[in-house]
Chains A and B, each alone.
Chain A
């Protein structure tokens, strides 16, 4: 064995070779997301920053679109990562999967180039086809929508064909159901109508059913696999928990969509239905925390990949607090009337997407790197182990600081603009000019910079972790693992 552990794709199975490609692009796009987030944060403090060159709307669009795409790439990568191990068969149609990866990546580059260089178009339907659809989160032009569905279907073919060739595990079954929903739901947003209420009704089907239902189930599957891999938890336990979580997630989340139907022109019964079911949405997230913490305790946290375990625990808590608690605090219509569309939403959005999704994808980056470097040691006294710890601290503290900055701004906004001012133009700016709001935006920028530093360190760590380790991976209680 050489002193340096090279990244060697001979250590990976076919699906995993494709997975690390997706992971690489995902990590790069996370950098794009952070860059444009910072630019937008600067503009909140210095309004003329890049004004007329790359306006706020463009910065913000690239910020949130880069997020969706890097997370989707992270999920796809994670599924390819576990596919062959779960199914017990080599990936079917891998060549096609590889082609789709390059097509997908190229399409993303074209879409972003058009966003930045063309930016807007005339008020015609063609603009939606070729420049932007102009709807938050689904800004991608229609041709790209179709492309995304084609890519997701090819991905689904790879997954479904591989599972049917091998065996369908519990995780596999849930994944298949989830991917059908994921691709199917996306198509529901692919139409234009003048009726704004109708437009937003179906638009929420896409956004909500992705982010608060199918993505949550996806990370449930990833957590199940991650705990087996990193802690050595038994398959029976993770599968049972996975069903329990999916039961609670779909049980609350499907009708929880009603919390988006309070104020868009939809009937009044959505106030009760949305309020009730979305209030239940944190429950599965509590279950996920209990599961992860319980398993970690049972195994006395004897895990073989400290960075991955750290990020899995960060995910469990981030999902619970960010998506669960921060969602719950303003999901009841009585409160939401004053918080909807304020910095509360931004605060919750950052906490939820980061806590629920960014964290667990980063955990998978570490799981992948461990194997990519030939099952290298990633336990205590890891060579250069300060890097993953400090990047985790900077990212987590940076994110919490941003969340708190926006929340304080949101408090001011819901009082001054909404409760007192009634959301007029003058009331909006009265809140935006208030020192509490302004300070919140400064804190957000400061902690955003810290977050960016954490990202830089994360990239450095991912490029180097395990490189100088000579020790092989630490085994779990291996005998016990095999017996299960």
Chain B
């Protein structure tokens, strides 16, 4: 069966060995190149991943006709919890929020930018979710919910979020992190999301 394999280049072991090595090397180099470019585009403070101080502003999620996708829009000044933060303060607060979300393992129920588990709602645009009623009450409702969610209304399934022992400080930080998360340009994910009314 393998008698004339040596005559056929496409059935030769060495041919495929070389092809494999070269292809792997080239693809890897292309990936490194793309990674370098991506790194420069996803620095905090850039167009795609805004500065942490964006939490001092109103965030919206609007259709961009040229891209045919919804994109985050950073609007008028609207500080979180009514307190305008410096860049450093904002970063520290968002960082604390992110650390808290790691520590409470949020990602093994929720999805974050679509990644995680599928037991609870996606958090990518949680800050803009109409579930939080209106602009005026949203911040405090979110903080209260995160601190002690168990007995609050979730859905008609009876599926609930457990009390994870989140402190008041941590809950505020988590809300800051969620607000900042909503500013990331995710190429229109989630699609058709209808944000909370923030006009009045």
List residues of A whose CB falls within 8 A of some B CB.
43-44, 47-48, 51-52, 55-58, 60-61, 119-125, 127-128, 131-136, 139, 170, 192, 194-198, 200-201, 234, 236-237, 239-240, 243-244, 246-247, 250-251, 254-255, 257, 261-271, 273, 298, 337-338, 340-343, 345-346, 418-426, 428-429, 432-433, 484
Contacts and interface: CB of A to CB of B under 8 A. Distances in A.
Contacts of B130: 424-426
13 contacts: A57-B106, A124-B103, A125-B99, A139-B108, A195-B49, A196-B112, A254-B31, A265-B185, A267-B41, A268-B187, A426-B130, A429-B154, A429-B155
B94 interface: yes
Given A240-B16, A247-B16, A133 B102 contact: yes
Interface in B1-47: 1-2, 5, 11-13, 16-17, 19-20, 23-24, 27-28, 30-31, 34-35, 37-39, 41-44
Q: Which of A240, A270, A423, A426 counts the most B-chain CB atoms under 10 A from its CB?
A: A423
Contact of B113 (A250, A264, A270): A264
Interface string B134-161: 0000000000000000100011111110
A109 B20 CA distance: 39
A127 B103 contact: yes
Contacts, number: 265
Contacts of B119: 43-44, 56-57, 60
Contacts of A432: 155, 157, 159
B95 A194 contact: yes
B28 A424 contact: no
A51 B164 CA distance: 12
A267 B37 contact: yes
Given A195-B44, A429-B157, A243 B17 contact: yes
B107 A254 contact: no
A60 B109 CA distance: 8
B42 A197 contact: yes
B24 A250 contact: yes
A271 B187 contact: yes
B113 A243 contact: no
Nearest to B131: A425
A234 B103 contact: no
A195 to B, nearest CB: 5
Interface string B65-96: 00000000000000000000000000100111
